[in-house]
Structure 1
Amino acid sequence: MWLRPVDLAREHGLSTQAVRNYEEAGILPPAGRSPHGYRRYSPRHAAALRAFLALVPAHGHPTAAAVMRAVNGGAVDEALRLIDESHVRLAGDRNTLQDVEDALRGLAPQRAPEAEPGVTFIGPLAHRLGLRPATLRTWERAGLVVPRRDARTGYRVYGSADVRDALLAHQLRRGGHGLDRIARVLAEVRTAGGPEPLQAALEEWRGRLRARGLAMLTAAAALDAYLCPAADAVATPAG
């Protein structure tokens, strides 16, 4: 049974040029040709296209394309390695999310940054926290608190957001968290605009990770359906 480019394209709402581009990129195996030179695809090409389009939301376009090129080139082990790496990245993202949630769960309420003085310097801030200025400098090198420098004196100037970050870092350190972990938490706090907005961002983040995990299951099934005929051919001796 031969299929035209438009037959593959129509199933997924693609253009025929997109199908040809996927073939040229090695995402689809090479097509046969009719006596007049027209491309002729088979159900196996259709399965390859389904597998690729399922892999994209699960692993991203570059990895999905690399997996399909590896499979079509007979390098199944390389394809599996790429998928394994993608799963490791997802697991790492889940661990980071858990770190942030665990850290925020142990935070005590703080006054809003607007209630803090507009700016302060390293000595007064260190005194307020009961720390040595050297500790704040260490936190700065680790990316926990990043004050600006006064253009005239070169002194560190801590704004309200910097004070907030220092307060959060101090609480997290007292809770036993390491500098790397605190840096990840504070990076998320800064992106969200504070601990409170971060809660909504964490819910959205969790939803994205869940969607990726489910997409990986769908992609695995589609890739398995594409690989099965090849696996059967290898397993069944020629008669």
Structure 2
Amino acid sequence: MDEPVSGARRGTLRTSDVARESGYSVQQVRDLERLGVIPPAARSGNGYRSYASLHVQALRAYRGLAGAVGPVVARQLLAELRAQSIAEAASVINEVHVRLAREREEALRAQQALRAIQAEGNTAESEQDGDAMTITELSRALGVRPSTLRFWEQEGLVTPERVTSLRARRYGLSAVRAARIVTALRSAGYGVPAVREIMGSLHRLDGQGDARHVLRERLDQIAVRTVELLRAGADLATVVLTAQERATVSSRPGDG
């Protein structure tokens, strides 16, 4: 049961108080307590729930964490954080930040590749349909060595056709387009592993409509998730520090 207004004691919070302060409904507070997101409320002799400010902070921490990584993962992380040392908890939270940064970097790289596609597409329009280039012709057009194109082929970045009896390399329009993208990205300072990831990202976006729109939405979502994680920061710190203090007290000789 939830403590009635007339029975509220100084320093304690009713379920409705916690709901109002955390932004959740009364039923959600009960559900999240049942799921272990917040510690169990204290119970008075007549069975009424009694909460503390820590419960509000735990719910706020959960809200931000759920916005960053999703509710299921957030519940798992909160359980871990309450059981870990400060150093371990800090490492877990930092990994979430790193994960979001990686997602953002991948989206930005794919966005850069899309710009490269648009730029090389304007150039490709001047070519005759069905034109193919030899490795020498393509290397001159791109300003790179033939050995560089062979290396890119080995790395799976550009795949030429072999159509002559001598199995000589011939680069059709799709291969030329890919080579232009790789050249643009390499010139911008991207390493081969990063270029491979970018090309993979572009392939994964095929068939999903406007890729530029998809990437803009992805970047916006990552930004929102990052802000949610930052918003949860102080409350997460309180949850971790409180759990650590309680663990320290309970481990002292004579306690318990």
Normalised by the length of structure 1, the TM-score is 0.63
| Pick aligned residue for 2:55 from 45, 49, 66 | 45
Counterpart code for 2:76? A
- How far residue 59 of structure 1 moved from its aligned partner, in angstroms, is 4.1
> Which stretches in structure 1 are left out of the alignment for 5+ residues?
150-155
Corresponding position of 2:226: 213
Give 1:185's aligned residue: 198
Q: How many residues align?
A: 224
The residue type paired with residue 14 of structure 2 is L
- How far apart are residue 53 of structure 1 and its match? 0.9
How big is the shift at 1:125? 5.4
C-alpha deviation, 1:82, in angstroms: 0.9
1:91 alignment partner in structure 2: 101
TM-score after normalising by structure 2 = 0.60
- C-alpha distance in 2, partners of 1:29/1:14? 17
CA deviation after TM superposition for structure 1 residue 52, in Å: 0.7
Amino-acid identity (%): 30
Query: In 2, are the aligned partners of 1:28 and 1:49 still within 8 Å (CA)?
Result: yes
Which structure is larger by alpha-carbon Rg, 1 or 2?
Answer: 2
Alpha carbons 2:33, 2:39 under 8 Å: kept: yes
Q: Deviations over 1:93-130 (max 9, x none)?
A: 45445656777788893245677666677xx4535413
Equivalent residue letter for 1:84? N
When the two chains are superposed, the root-mean-square deviation of aligned CA atoms in Å is: 4.7
Q: CA deviation at 1:85?
A: 0.8
Do the aligned residues in 2 keep the contact of 1:51 with 1:219 (CA within 8 Å)?
Answer: yes
Given that 1:51 and 1:223 are in contact with CA atoms closer than 8 Å, whether structure 2 keeps it comes out as yes
Q: Does 1:144 align with 2:175?
A: no
Instruction: Report the AA paired with residue 74 of structure 2.
Output: A
**Aligned residue type for 1:220:** G
Match of 1:70 in 2: 80
1:30-64 alpha-carbon deviations (Å, 9 max, x no partner): 2333445x562402323211211122223443553
Instruction: Report if aligned partners of 1:70, 1:76 keep a CA contact under 8 Å in 2.
Output: no
Write the distance in 1 (CA, Å) between the matches of 2:153 and 2:177: 14
What aligned pairs does 1:16-35 form with structure 2 within 5 A after superposition? 16=27, 18-35=28-45
Q: What per-residue deviation string (whole Å, max 9, x for no partner) do you get for residues 3-52 of structure 1?
A: 34x66456534472x5444334432112333445x562402323211211
Match 1:55 to one of 39, 52, 65: 65
Q: Deviation at 1:208? A: 3.5
Change (3 A) 1:42 1:120: farther
Structure with the greater relative contact order (CA < 8 A, sep ≥ 6): 1 or 2? 2
Counterpart code for 1:110: E
Aligned: 1:170 with 2:183: yes
Unaligned residue ranges in structure 2 (runs of 5+): 1-11, 140-144, 163-168, 250-256
Whether contact under 8 Å (1:66, 1:79) holds in the other structure is no
The aligned amino acid for 2:99 is R
Cα pair distance change 1:128/1:20, threshold 3 Å: farther
Are the counterparts in 2 of residues 107 and 171 from structure 1 also a CA contact under 8 Å? no
Aligned letter for 2:179?
A: A
Residue type of the partner of 2:96?
S
